[in-house]
Structure 1
Amino acid sequence: MRVGTWSLRTIWLILVACFAVSLVVAAMAALNTALPDIARDVHASSSDMTWIIDGYTLVLAALLLPAGALGDRFGRRGILMIGLVIFGFASLAAVWVDTPTALILTRCAAGVGAALIMPTTLSLITAGVPREQRAIGVSVWAAVAGIGAILGFFVTGVLLMFFSWHSVFIAFAISAAGTLALTFTVGSSKDDDPGSFDVLGSLTSVLAVAGVVFGLLEAPTRGWSDPLVLVALIGGVVLGGLFIVIERRRTSPLLDVGLFRNRAFASGSLSVALQFFASFGVFYLILLLLQLIYGYSPLRSAFALIPMVVGVGVFALLGNWVAVRFHSLRFVLAAGIAIAGAGVLAIGIVDPDVYWKLAIMLGVCAVGIGLATAPSTTAIMSNTPLEKQGVGSAVNDTARELGAAIGIALAGSLVAAGYASRIGPTADAAHRQIAALDPASADGAADGIRRSLAGAVAVSDQLPPQAAPLADFIRTGAENSFLPPMQQACLVLGGILLAGAVFLGWFAPRQVIATEPELAAGPELVAGSPVGDSP
C-alpha cells in the first residue's frame, strides 16, 4: 500500500527509528528536572547528582563508534533490539535502588543500551529508505533527535506533577518495551563483507572519547586546571591521535579516517557539533534562568522551550530540501549556524527580563539550528559507504555528544567563575545576619550561597517567615551575580558559532554529495554513497 509516492513500509521504518532515537535523547535530559527529588530520596551529594546525569552521557558517547560498527557487522535491527532490552532493564532497575552509587550504575548501563540504539536508528533509515526519499527521512530523524531533549523535559514535568521520580524510569522502561515490539515489524540491513573487527581501534576510540568527555563534564565543577581534568583531556586528545594512526594502518578500520578529507563529510560533522554546542550550552543556561529566576516549574519550563521545538522541527525539513534541491550545502550550513549564533548573541545582549523577549531569541536560535541540522546529517551519511552506515551514524552521534559536552562545560565554567567573583559581598552580609538568628547554620548557609544560584535560592527558601527581607536580599544578590556571567557566556557561545559559520562558508562544498574536485580522499567514497545507490 502507498501514500502518494511513499510506501507504508518506508513510512513505518522512519517512525519506528524516530521512536527509538527520541527515547535515547529524552533520557539525556529528562532527569535534570527530577534530580532534586532523586537527591533527597537516595541522599546524593553534589558530585553524585552530577554523575547521575553524566554517567549516561559519558558511556553513550564513548561506545557510539564500536556500537555503530557492530550494527554494520551483525545487523542493525538486531543490535537495536539488544540496545532496547539493555536500556529497558537498566531503567527498570533504577526504580528499586536506594543509594546514589547504585543509581549511577543503572544510568551507565542505560548508556550502554543507548549507544547500541542511537547509531542503528539512522543507519536503518539511510540503508532502508529509497534514494529519492532519504533526504526527507533524514530530515524527520534529525528533527526528532534535535527536539528529543525538550520532549524529555515535558514528559518528566507532567509525570512529576502526579507521581514520584520513579515514574520517569518506569516510563523509560515501558517505552523501550513498546519500541522493541515495534522493531519486530521492520527489516534489517548489514555489511555483507565486514572484514575483521577492529578491536584495537575500538578500545582506543572508547578511551579517547571517554577521556575527553569526562574532562569536559568535570571541568565546570573541578576547574580547568584540576590535575584530573587535565589528565583526562590531554590523555583523550593523545589517544585520539593514536586512534587516527591505528586506523590509517588497518585494512579493516573501525572508521575510515580518510572520510574526513571529504569536505562534505567533515563540514557536516563540524556543523552537528556546533549545533549541539549551541543547544545544550543554551539549555543549561536557560533552564537555570527559567526555574531559579523566573520561578517556573519543570513543566512550565518545558512549555517555555516550545519555540525551540517549532523552529527546529519546521526548519529541519526546509533546510534539507534547500541544500539538496539547489545544491547549496555551503549556504545552508553557514546561514543556519550564523542565525543560531545571532540568536545566542541576542540573549547575551538583550536583558531577558520578561519571557516574550527570551522566546523570540530562542526562536531565532532554533531556526538556525533547524536549517543546519538535517543537511549536516545528510552530508555525513551521503558520503559514507552504504555498508558502513552504522559507523557513519556513529560519527554523527559522536559529534553531537562532544558538541553538547563542550557547550555545557564552557557555559558552566563561565557562569561558575563569574558568579563566584560577584557573590562574595552578598554571602558575607547574609552570614552576619544568619549568625544573629542561628549561629550553627551560618557557615553552611554562606557556603551554599557562594556555591551556586541554586544553592542561594535553597538558602533563601529555608529561612523562616520573619526573615523575609533577608531572603529577598539573598535572592536579589544571587540573581545579580548570575545574570551578567550568563549573558557573557551567551556572548562567548554566540561568537564561537559565528566564527564556525564563517569557516563553514569557506570550507563546505556546494554539493551534499561530494563531486570529484571536492573529494580529496578519492572517488571511491562517492561510489559507495547511499544517496547514489538504491537499497
Structure 2
Amino acid sequence: MDTAAPSPSGSPLPAGEPGAVARDPNYKWIALSNTTIAMFMAAVNGSIILISLPAIFNGININPLTSFQYLLWILMGYGIVTATLLLSFGRLSDMYGRVRLYNIGFAIFTVGSILLFLTPDTGDAGAIELIVFRVVQAVGAAFIFSNSAAILTDAFPPDERGKALGLNQVAALSGQFVGLLIGGILAVFHWRYVFLISVPFGVVGTIWAFLKLKEPAYGKRSQKIDIWGNLSFIGGLTIFLVGITYALLPYGSDSMGWRDPWVVAALLCGVLLLFAFPIIETRVEDPMFRMDLFRIRNFAFGNAAGFMSALARGGVMIILIILLQGIWLPLHGYSFESTPFWAGVYMLPLTIGFVIMGPLSGSLSDKYGARWLSTLGMVLVGISFLILAILPYNFDYLPFAIALMIMGIGNGMFSSPNAAAIMNSVPPDERGVTSGMMSTLMNSGFVLSMGMFFTIIVVGLTGAFPTALAGALTAANASPLIPSMSAIPPTGALFAAFLGYNPVQMILGGLSPALIATIAPATLATLTGAVWFPTTLAGAFMPSLALSFYIGAGISFVAALLCAMRGEKYIDESDGAVPINASDTDPQEVSGDNVQ
C-alpha cells in the first residue's frame, strides 16, 4: 500500500500510482511549464555568454586575447561544476525529495544571476568574481537539471512522457539560440543586462515552484549518504575535467598544455578515481548509484548513446560560431563588431529543426518506442556533419542552412525519445539519480567535446597558421611585417575569430611608426579590412574544421548503433504499467534482468 507524501506546504497528498502525482489533472501541465521555464532560463544563460563575452570583457577592462584562462573558465567552468554535481544531487533528491531540492536549485540559480549582475570589481578581480558567481549559478542549475526529467516522469503517465520530455528539451535547445540573439542585443546597451535577463524568470519561477509543485508519493528509502562514492565521483570527474580545461592553455613553447606535468597528473588521477567509483558502489551499504541499473538495456544503451551524442555535438556550436564570426560573415560584408549577433541569426535553422521534431518524436516514441526513432535521428546528425565537412569556407548559405536543419531534426528525433526510454526503464524511487546520471553523462560529454574540438583546431592551426600568415603577407606586399605579425599566436587567432575581433588592427597599433611607414597605405587598408584576415585564417582553419566534422560524424554513427542495440519499448512494471506486449519487450527484460 502506498504511503501519503507531504506536499511542500505540509498537507498530505493522496497516494496513487507509485511515483506519480496524478490526482489533479492540471498538475502535469504545471510541472511541465515550470520545469520548461527553468530549462529555458538555464540554457539561455549558457549561450548568452558565448555572444556577450567581448562586451563583458570590455566592461570589466580585461583583454580577452591575453586572458585565455579567464575566457576558458567562464566558458567551461559552468559545465564542469554542473557535470560533477548532477549525479550526487540526483541521489540526494531521491532521498530527501525531488521537488524540494529542485526548488532550492531554482532559488540558488536566481541568486547567482543577481550576483553576476552586481559584479563589483574590474580587471582580474572582476573576472574571478564572474567565474565564482557562475559557479553559484552552476550549483543551482545542477539541482534543476538533475530533477526536471524526474519531476516530469512523476507527473505524466507513461504514454505521455515522451511528449512532455520533448517539449522540455525543445525549450532547452531553443534557449541556447534565443540566448545568442538576446546576448547580441543586450550587449550593445550594457554587459550587465546579459545577466539581469535571467532574474525575473528566476524570481517568478522560484515562487511558482515553491507554491505549486508537489512531492510525489513514491516510497523514499532511509539511506546514509555515500561519502566515499561522492568523493570518488565528484573528485575524479572534477580533477579530470579541470585537467582537460588547462590542457587547452599554452604551456611553455607549446600552443597547448597536454604535456604540462600538472595536466597529465590531473588526467591520470581523475581517471583512477572514476575507475574506483563503480568498485566502491558495489561494496558500500547505501550506494550513491546502483550499478545494477546498467543491467537494464534501455538504461545502459540509452545513456551510452546520450554520452556519444553529447560528445559529437557539444563543441559544434562554438566551432560553428568561430566559422561564422571569424570567416564567413566578414567575407559577406558584416563588420567584426556585428558578427556575434548575426552568427546567432544564421544558426536558427538548427533550432527550427529541433523545435519541429522534438515534440513530434516524443509523441511518436510514446506509441512506438525510442529504438528506431533515436537511431534514425543520430544517422541524420552524422549525415549533417558530413555535409558540413565538405563545404568550402566561403560557402553558399543554403546548403549550410540545410545541414543545420538536418542536424536539428536529427537531434530532435534522438533527444526526447532517448530521455523518455531511459526514464521509463527504471523504478520510481530511482528516477532522481537516473535523471542525474543522464544529465551527468550529457554535460560531461559537452565539456569533453569542447576540449576535443578545440584541441583538433588548435593543433591544426599551430602547424598551418604561421605559414599561411607569412604567405598572405608576402602576397599583400607586406613582407617587412612578417616578424611582427608572427606575434599572433594560433590560439589568439582562434579566440579573436570567436569573439568577433580583428587582431591585425591590435598588432599594427603596437608597431613602431617607422616600420608602419615602410608599408603602402593601400596595403595597410587591405590588412585591416574585413577580407584579408578571415581569408588568411580560413586557409589554416578549414582542414582542422573538416577533420572535426568527420570525427563528429563517426561518433554520431556510433551513437546510432548504440540506439539500435537498446532493445524494444520497455516500461518498468513497478510504475503501475507493464511492457506493451511480448514482442515489444526484450527477452532479457522479461526474464528478470531488469532491476525491479
TM-score by length of 2: 0.80
Q: Secondary structure at the match of 1:254?
A: coil
Asked if 1:263 is matched to 2:263, the reply is: no
Asked if 1:175 is matched to 2:175, the reply is: no
Give the Cα separation in 2 of the matches to 1:450 and 1:517.
Answer: 53
Amino acid of the structure 1 residue aligned with 2:325 = Q
Contact 1:290–1:301 (CA under 8 A) maintained in structure 2: yes
Contact 1:291–1:298 (CA under 8 A) maintained in structure 2: yes
Asked if 1:46 is matched to 2:68, the reply is: yes
Amino acid of the structure 2 residue aligned with 1:220 = L
Q: 1:344 matched to which residue of 2?
A: 385
Asked if 1:16 is matched to 2:58, the reply is: no
Q: Percent identity?
A: 24
Amino acid of the structure 2 residue aligned with 1:172 = S
The unaligned stretches of length 5 or more in structure 2 are 1-23, 250-255, 330-337, 510-520, 573-584
Give the Cα separation in 1 of the matches to 2:452 and 2:287.
Answer: 33
Amino acid of the structure 1 residue aligned with 2:502 = A
Give the superposition deviation at 1:206: 0.7
Structural mapping, 1:308-387, within 5 Å: 308-327=350-369, 329-351=370-392, 353-387=395-429
Give the Cα separation in 1 of the matches to 2:265 and 2:382.
Answer: 31
Q: Secondary structure at the match of 1:7?
A: coil
Q: Which moved more, 1:425-434 or 1:278-287?
A: 425-434
Asked if 1:127 is matched to 2:154, the reply is: yes
Q: 1:458 matched to which residue of 2?
A: 502
Give the Cα separation in 1 of the matches to 2:68 and 2:198.
Answer: 24
Give the Cα separation in 2 of the matches to 1:495 and 1:517.
Answer: 30
Choose from 221, 240, 245 the match for 1:193. Answer: 221
Amino acid of the structure 1 residue aligned with 2:382 = G
Q: Which moved more, 1:99-108 or 1:276-285?
A: 276-285
Give the Cα separation in 2 of the matches to 1:57 and 1:450.
Answer: 21
Amino acid of the structure 2 residue aligned with 1:179 = G
Q: 1:30 matched to which residue of 2?
A: 48
Please list the CA deviations of residues 54-76 of structure 1 after superposition, one character each: whole Å capped at 9, or x if unmatched.
22111111111111122222222
TM-score by length of 1: 0.89
Give the superposition deviation at 1:339: 0.9
Asked if 1:159 is matched to 2:186, the reply is: yes
Amino acid of the structure 1 residue aligned with 2:245 = L
Q: 2:19 matched to which residue of 1?
A: none
Contact 1:267–1:376 (CA under 8 A) maintained in structure 2: no
Choose from 150, 160, 166 the match for 2:177. Answer: 150
Q: 1:107 matched to which residue of 2?
A: 134
Give the Cα separation in 1 of the matches to 2:491 and 2:155.
Answer: 54
Change in CA separation of 1:333 and 1:226 when aligned onto 2, cut-off 3 Å: farther
Change in CA separation of 1:482 and 1:188 when aligned onto 2, cut-off 3 Å: same
Contact 1:274–1:337 (CA under 8 A) maintained in structure 2: no
Q: Secondary structure at the match of 1:447?
A: coil
Please list the CA deviations of residues 363-395 of structure 1 after superposition, one character each: whole Å capped at 9, or x if unmatched.
111111111101111122112220121111111
Structural mapping, 1:213-292, within 5 Å: 213-221=241-249, 222-292=256-326
Give the superposition deviation at 1:267: 1.5
Amino acid of the structure 1 residue aligned with 2:230 = S
Give the Cα separation in 1 of the matches to 2:175 and 2:258.
Answer: 30
Give the superposition deviation at 1:40: 2.4
Change in CA separation of 1:225 and 1:450 when aligned onto 2, cut-off 3 Å: closer
Contact 1:83–1:114 (CA under 8 A) maintained in structure 2: yes
Choose from 106, 119, 124 the match for 1:96. Answer: 119
Q: 1:531 matched to which residue of 2?
A: none
Give the superposition deviation at 1:273: 1.8
Contact 2:163–2:366 (CA under 8 A) maintained in structure 1: no
Q: How many residues align?
A: 516
Please list the CA deviations of residues 237-289 of structure 1 after superposition, one character each: whole Å capped at 9, or x if unmatched.
22112110111122321111111121110121122223322332221211111
Please list the CA deviations of residues 137-188 of structure 1 after superposition, one character each: whole Å capped at 9, or x if unmatched.
1221232233332222222123223x21111111122221121022122212
Asked if 1:205 is matched to 2:264, the reply is: no
Q: Secondary structure at the match of 2:197?
A: helix
The unaligned stretches of length 5 or more in structure 1 are 1-5, 528-535
Choose from 403, 410, 413 the match for 2:455. Answer: 413
Q: Secondary structure at the match of 1:297?
A: helix
Contact 1:449–1:455 (CA under 8 A) maintained in structure 2: no
Give the number of the structure whose alpha-carbon radius of gyration is greater: 2
Contact 2:314–2:449 (CA under 8 A) maintained in structure 1: yes
Asked if 1:468 is matched to 2:496, the reply is: no
Choose from 4, 7, 17 the match for 2:25. Answer: 7
Contact 1:430–1:446 (CA under 8 A) maintained in structure 2: no
Give the Cα separation in 1 of the matches to 2:426 and 2:247.
Answer: 34
Q: Secondary structure at the match of 1:511?
A: coil
Amino acid of the structure 2 residue aligned with 1:171 = I
Choose from 74, 77, 88 the match for 1:66. Answer: 88
Choose from 568, 575, 578 the match for 1:510. Answer: 568
Give the Cα separation in 2 of the matches to 1:519 and 1:272.
Answer: 21
Choose from 144, 152, 162 the match for 1:117. Answer: 144
Q: Secondary structure at the match of 2:315?
A: helix
Give the superposition deviation at 1:313: 2.0
CA RMSD of aligned residues (A): 2.7
Change in CA separation of 1:100 and 1:391 when aligned onto 2, cut-off 3 Å: same
Give the superposition deviation at 1:492: 1.4
Asked if 1:492 is matched to 2:551, the reply is: yes
Change in CA separation of 1:216 and 1:322 when aligned onto 2, cut-off 3 Å: farther
Change in CA separation of 1:383 and 1:485 when aligned onto 2, cut-off 3 Å: same
